[in-house]
A = this chain, B = another copy of it.
Amino acid sequence: MSTFTELRVSDIRFPTSRDLDGSDAMNPDPDYSAAYVELVTSDGDAGYGLVFTIGRGNDVQSAAISALSGHLIGRDVEDTLADLGALSAQLIGDSQLRWLGPEKGVMHMAIGAVVNAAWDLRARREGKPLWLLLAELTPEQIVDLVDFRYLSDALTRQEALEILRGAEPGRAERIAALRAGGIRAYTTSPGWLGYDDEKLVRLLREARAEGFEMVKLKVGADVEDDARRMRIAREEMGDGYPIAMDANQRWDVADAITWLQRMAPYQPAWIEEPTSPDDVLGHAAIRRAVAPLPVATGEQMQSRIIAKQLLQAEAVDVLQLDATRVGGVNENIAILLLAAKFGVPVCPHAGGVGLCELVQHYAFFDAAAVAGDHPQRFIEYVDHLHEHFEDPVIIDEGSYRAPDAPGSSARMHPESMDRHLFPGGEIWVEQDHVAIA
């Protein structure tokens, strides 16, 4: 019998604000960071997970993860991994910690990282990539992972079972096709607000040359700048090439509508996060007003309860789950099932630290065993920080290749961790020297 012996948490930060990589209308100078989890067992194994943050507060996020260690240490590994629905329910159900959310923010993301680390370990032990492990579970095993509390007015356990059973025919063929062809990526690399027009054009050309069939531009800081950048991008990429826009929550409802009317000539593929991620009714009002321009959101969607309402209110055309915002794999399965019920495509959010590595597993699982094929399926891609991961994503001709290595692709290289540990790692000690000099 093996037990969990340590929940090791590391505050890892990358000084990305130096180059304005990742700059958008709400996040002018992020230092991409990870509160990184190693869930260690008595037989020397470990599972890996993380919460992506953008700098300050990564220590708070780390403290929240550490607060969960009492639920893990000493616990039987086999029993735990055999019933990860129970682990998720226990962590979310800790009545004292629940007060700090409930099911939202720092404490909920902490739960997600720990749940994900347990899934990572299970997938490593079973020798499968996470997406395939999930896709090969039975419909009953999958629904057992889901907490249907607060969902049953939109999705019952029985309805979820029917969705999954409906996807069983053809599943093996879809898995084979996914392994052969992957899933299309779109790239946000050209579109950061901090880049000048010349860099924008250069990166757009590179994106097309690399085979990407969609790109995304950040907008929302200045309407004239946005119109110019969208015009440049449309001219560069030609009619019909999908160019999405991302406002990162910049607007109120009326602002969004006015701004988006100004953008209509450039035929955006979608408008992402036009307003607060918590404003379900606001998204619905914007969507009604700017139709047929599609509305996308979800990267900061706090839980399946907001996902449910976005779908009920017909507030979104595209749902963008994130790997480290909600309570982990289990809650993201609930979100995939909700989206499938409402017929809304899921195009995961990525970028940051390790998000491309993590979210690809949801898209492949969704395509294999939940929603199945659909023409709008894309995974976001940003060419950034992948070198720090042991199993980095592989992009082939603008598509994510199906992950093949066992696990959830969350493991970081030990040398990368050492170097970027905050505040003592080499990169931060150097930074301080620069600042002082």
* A107 CB-CB contact with B under 8 Å: yes
Contact yes or no, B280 A281, CB < 8 A: yes
Chain B residues within 8 Å of A309, by CB = 279-282
Complex CA gap A190/B168 in Å reads 54
* A146 CB-CB contact with B under 8 Å: no
Interface residues of A in 284-334 (CB under 8 A from B): 285, 300, 302-303, 305-306, 308-309, 312-313
Complex CA gap A303/B300 in Å reads 15
A104 with B102, Cβ < 8 A, contacts A56-B96, A151-B252, A281-B309 known: no
Chain B residues within 8 Å of A153, by CB = 252-254, 282, 285
Q: A258 CB to closest chain B CB, in angstroms? A: 12
Among A63, A108, A300, the one with the most B-chain Cβ atoms within 10 Å of its Cβ is A63
Complex CA gap A30/B94 in Å reads 11
Query: From A108, which residue of chain B is reached at the shortest CB distance?
Result: B105
Chain B residues within 8 Å of A312, by CB = 281
A305 with B276, Cβ < 8 A, contacts A55-B96, A61-B100 known: yes
Contact yes or no, B252 A149, CB < 8 A: yes
Among A98, A99, A104, A281, the one with the most B-chain Cβ atoms within 10 Å of its Cβ is A99
Among A104, A253, A308, the one with the most B-chain Cβ atoms within 10 Å of its Cβ is A104
| 1/0 contact string of A119-152 vs chain B (CB within 8 Å) | 0000000000000000000000000000011111
Query: From A352, which residue of chain B is reached at the shortest CB distance?
Result: B99
Chain B residues within 8 Å of A63, by CB = 59-60, 63
Contact yes or no, B252 A152, CB < 8 A: yes
Contact yes or no, A57 B61, CB < 8 A: no
Contact yes or no, B152 A97, CB < 8 A: no
* A26 CB-CB contact with B under 8 Å: yes
* A277 CB-CB contact with B under 8 Å: yes
Complex CA gap A269/B260 in Å reads 46
| A-B residue pairs in contact (CB < 8 Å), sample of 24 | A26-B98, A29-B95, A30-B99, A54-B99, A56-B67, A56-B96, A57-B64, A57-B97, A57-B100, A59-B63, A60-B67, A60-B100, A100-B105, A103-B278, A104-B302, A105-B105, A105-B107, A106-B106, A150-B276, A151-B252, A153-B254, A278-B302, A281-B308, A282-B309
